């Protein structure tokens, strides 16, 4: 049997715990995968795939500044999209960690994710995209 990579274990443990926390209400795909990718990036070992996805995202978005309906996807279509998801999580956490906990809690309690984002951060996905774009040097990034 092949040996499991620590990144894969961390990713799935984080998502499993998140799924069972408070309720089994599902988070939107970008948030769910972003949390898993963010957990990998912040573990003491590994994170190589995470860094590669970050680079792919930056390169892809410099070529074409469009997230391709990123916030509406039920599955990512390109290898760079998990890197974007993790970066979005990082932005939210650095803005206000307690608001992030509240944001996830509100979704798990049944509030639609867009309404919870507006309530906890006073942001919409259309606001979040340019924040990421500024961070990577793509100020005209479209959601």
Give dist(CA 17, CA 64) in Å, integer: 35
Q: Computed over its alpha carbons, how large is the radius of gyration of the chain?
A: 15
Query: In which band, very low, low, confident or very high, does the pLDDT at 20 lie, cut at 50, 70 and 90?
Result: low
**Residue found under tokens 């340019």:** 130
What would the pLDDT profile of 64-113 be if each residue is shown by its tens digit? 999 988 999 899 888 889 889 989 999 999 999 999 999 999 999 999 99
Q: Which of 23-27, 29-33, 136-140 has the highest mean pLDDT?
A: 136-140
pTM (2 decimals)?
Answer: 0.82
118: three-class secondary structure by DSSP: helix
User: Helix (H, G, I), strand (E, B), or coil: what is residue 80?
Assistant: coil
Tokens of 50: 């995470």
Alpha carbon dihedral 46, 49, 126, 118, in 10-degree steps, equals: -30
């Amino acid at each position: 049997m092949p040996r499991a990579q620590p990144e894969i274990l961390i990713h799935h443990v984080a998502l499993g715990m998140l799924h069972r926390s408070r309720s089994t209400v599902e988070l939107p795909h970008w948030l769910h995968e972003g949390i898993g990718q963010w957990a990998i990036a912040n573990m003491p070992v590994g994170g190589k795939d995470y860094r590669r996805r970050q680079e792919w995202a930056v390169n892809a978005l410099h070529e074409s500044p469009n997230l391709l309906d990123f916030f509406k996807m039920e599955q990512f279509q390109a290898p760079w999209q998990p890197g974007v998801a993790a970066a979005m999580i990082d932005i939210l956490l650095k803005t206000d960690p307690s608001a992030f906990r509240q944001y996830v809690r509100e979704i798990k309690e049944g509030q639609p994710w867009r309404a919870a984002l507006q309530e906890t951060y006073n942001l919409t996905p259309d606001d979040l995209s340019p924040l990421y774009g500024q961070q990577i040097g793509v100020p005209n990034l479209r959601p």
